[in-house]
A = this chain, B = another copy of it.
Amino acid sequence: MAVAGEELYHFAAELYPICRSITGSGVRQTLAAIRQRIPLDIVEVPSGTPVFDWTVPKEWNIRNAYIKSPDGDCVIEFQRSNLHVLNYSVPVHATMPLSELKPHLFTLPDKPDWIPYRTTYYQESWGFCLPHRQMLSLPEGEYEVHIDSTLEDGHLTYGECFLPGRTTDEVLFSCHVCHPSLANDNLSGVAVATFLAQSLAGLNLRYSYRFLFIPGTIGAITWLARNREHVGRIRHGLVLTCLGDTGGFHYKKSRRANAEIDHVVSHVLQRGKEPSDILEFSPYGYDERQYCSPGFDLPVGCLMRTVWNSFPQYHTSADNLDLIQPDALAASLRVSMAVVDVLENNRRYCNQNPYCEPQLGRRGLYRSTGGNTIDEEITARLWVLNLSDGQHSLLDIADRSGLSFQTICDAVEPLSQAGLLTVIPN
C-alpha cells in the first residue's frame, strides 16, 4: 500500500467546500467525488418513507444566504462559510430589528472567533451561526436576512460500495457524509474509507466488504431499515471518524464489548507505534448508536483519533483543513488496513498431530543443533501447534503468547505446508 498521506489530504480538501447536510445536493456531489475512486451504488430514498421509528425527511437545498446590516453591508455571507447558516434552515427573507434577529443567531461565547456548527433537522426553523465577537459588534437597527433555501419532498441519498469476497460474511465500514465544511469530522473518515475501499478492491479476500457513506443517524437508520434481513451477515464492523488530527488513536468498543472486532482493533492499536486508548461502549457518539441498538447489537466499534467533543475545534469552523494532517490520515489508513489484515487471517486451525509435539526438526522447522535458545519464529510455531485445538483463533494465540499477530500468523504457512495444520472452515 503506497498511498501517501498527501493523496488522502487532497481528497479531503477537494470535498471540504461542499455544503453537505443529511439530504440534498451536497451529499450527491460528495458521493460523485467518491465514485471517481471506487465503485459506488447511489441510493435515493423518497422523503416520507417510514424507517423504523423515523421518517425520511424533506430534502434541503440551499443556494445563498446573507445578513445585511442597517447600513447595507453584508455582515454574514453563506459564500464565505457554509457553517454560517443553521443547517436545514427554512427559507426566509425579511427585515427585522436586531432584537428580533438575535434569537436566530448562534455563537460560542467561550470561543469568540469561531463559527459554531448547528442544525435544525427535525424542527422547522431558521438561523445563522457567527463568531461571538462579531455578534457583539452588531449595531442596533434594521437587518435584512435572506436564506435562499428549499425544504421540499425529495430524497435522502447515500452511497454503498460492496466488494464481494470469498464468503458472504461481511465486514462493514461506515462513515457519515452529512457535515458541511468540517474536516476532521468527518472528511477524514470519508477519505480513509474511500482509500481503504480502493486498496481492497480487486483483492482476493475472505470477507465481503461493505462501505457505507451515509448521513449520520437518519442515514444509518434508513440503511438498517432497508437491509434489516441481511444484517446477520455482518460479522465485524467499524465506524470511521475523526481520523485526521494528530492525537492518539481511540477505539470505542462495540456494545458486546468482547466481539472479535474489539479484540482485533485493540491488538492492532496496542502493537502500534502511536499512543492509543480503548474505550468502553456508550450509546452516544456516531452511527454505532444505531448498529449497536439492542435489536441489532451488531459487532461494530468506532475508530477515532481524538474523540469527538474532546478537541476544542469540534463542531466549529476551526475544524478546518489546518486541523488534519497528511501523516495522520496515512497512519489512520494503515491502522484500518492492519485491522482488515488481522480479520482476514484470524482463523482457527486444527493441529493434525495433537499427541505430543510433532518433530519439527526433520521438517526443517526447528534449529538443528540443540542449545540454549529458540527464536521467536520457532516459539510461534510451538504456540500455534499447542493451541490449535479448534478453540483458539490465531489472535487468541497471539494474545496468550504475547507475540504479535503477524509473528503468529507467519507460523501457519510452513506448518500447513508440512501437513501439521488444517484450517477450520467457518
12 A-B contacts (beta carbon < 8 Å): A52-B355, A117-B371, A118-B371, A122-B368, A123-B361, A283-B382, A284-B379, A293-B385, A295-B351, A296-B355, A309-B372, A309-B373
Interchain CA distance A294-B220 in the complex, whole Å: 45
Of all chain B residues, which has the CB nearest A358? B53
User: Is A338's beta carbon under 8 Å from chain B?
Assistant: no
A120-B368, A309-B373, A382-B283 given as contacts; is B294 within 8 A of A387 (CB)?
yes
**Quick check: B374 and A293 within 8 Å, CB to CB?**
no
Residues of B within 8 A of A387 (CB): 283, 294
Contact of A315 among B53, B356, B372 (CB under 8 A): B372
Q: 0/1 per residue, A356-370, Cβ < 8 Å to B?
A: 111101100000111
Contact with B along A209-230 (1 / 0, CB 8 A): 0000000010011001100100
* Residue A78 lies at the interface, judged by CB distance under 8 Å to chain B: no
Interface set, chain A 81-130, CB cutoff 8 A to B: 86-87, 106, 116-123, 125
Nearest CB of B to A286, in Å: 12
Alpha-carbon gap, A117 to B372, bound state (A):
9
Closest chain B residue, CB of each to CB of A368: B123
Seed contacts A52-B355, A119-B369, A290-B357; 12 additional CB < 8 Å A-B pairs: A52-B353, A53-B359, A119-B370, A120-B368, A120-B370, A122-B361, A225-B355, A283-B383, A283-B386, A289-B382, A293-B386, A314-B372
Within the assembled complex, what's the spacing in Å between the Cα atoms of A96 and B379? 38
| CA distance in complex: A383, B283 (Å) | 6
